[in-house]
Amino acid sequence: MKIDVIAIFPEILEMALHVGILKRAIDRGLLEVRLHNLRSFAEDNRRTVDDYPYGGESGMVLKPEPLFAAVRSLEPKGATRVVFLTPQGKPFNQRMAERFSLETHLILICGRYKGIDQRVREKLITDEISIGDYVLSGGEVPALVFIDAVGRVLPSALGDYESAQNDSFSRELLDHPHYTRPAEFEGMKVPDVLLSGHHQKIMDWKRDRSMEKTAEQRPDLLRKFKNNEVLD
């Protein structure tokens, strides 16, 4: 998979690409991430990429010319998805991460200021994605969230691929509690069932705790699960 990121501050993403699971995926040739500074595609000597909005509002808007030039320089094919990270987009979730991981080429556009010229959205953007109902300084952090979520579910990116399949949201429920050694710490013991070796009882315990956790933290997900709904 190849991911191109267009941003005013691409250096925000630099460090994360050289550590952990993303580094492993890149080193194994599973993932290629290329960062592009939007100012490199500006048409003037001052490398201007924003301007005042029509209509008299305050703030600035990213201009269409550098964004069109940046996307076109990447030679997108018919199957290329061009994703705009924006609070106005569809809420990003695990199902979407899994679906995007099946693509071969993604272009991520990181917004800034008041956003981007509407003509970019109409002509170039195939998907608008939001990581939450709040506003950040720009789209670089959401882009990193997107890349991490998509990259970690690529086959062989994790040491144990099955681990990703059992994460929270992968089965429409939050994950169950986890324990490791020692079996007792400061008077707190690991539940006996997890030490029993009885696989069916362990599976039942994990499912019950997962249901309890979801009911406590995300009752909306539990309602969907009980209604046999699948997350979009």
Structural domains in the chain, sorted by start: 2-151 (3.40.1280.10), 166-226 (1.10.1270.20)
Assigned token pair, 164 = 């990703």
Looking at residue 168, its pLDDT comes to 53
Q: Are 36 and 3 in contact (CB under 8 A)?
A: no
By DSSP bridging, strand 81-91 and strand 61-62 are unpaired
The pLDDT tens digits of the residues spanning 122-161 come to 999 999 999 999 999 999 999 999 999 999 999 888 765 5
Can you tell me the distance from the alpha carbon of 146 to that of 97, in angstroms, rounded to the nearest whole number? 7
Can you list the residues of the chain whose pLDDT is less than 50?
231
Looking at residue 136, its pLDDT comes to 96
3-state SS, the chain, equals: CEEEEEECCCHHHHHHHHCHHHHHHHHCCCCEEEEEEHHHHCCCCCCCCEECCCCCCCCCEECHHHHHHHHHHCCCCCCCEEEEEEEEEEECCHHHHHHHCCCCEEEEEECECCCECHHHHHHCCCEEEECCCCCCCECHHHHHHHHHHHHCCCCCCCCCHHHHHCCCCCCCCCCCCCCCCCCEECCEECCHHHHCCCHHHHHHHHHHHHHHHHHHHCHHHHHHHHCCCCCC
Looking at residue 133, its pLDDT comes to 95
Looking at residue 162, its pLDDT comes to 53
pTM: predicted TM-score of the whole model, two decimal places:
0.86
Best CA proximity match to 150, nearest among 108, 79, 100, 93: 100
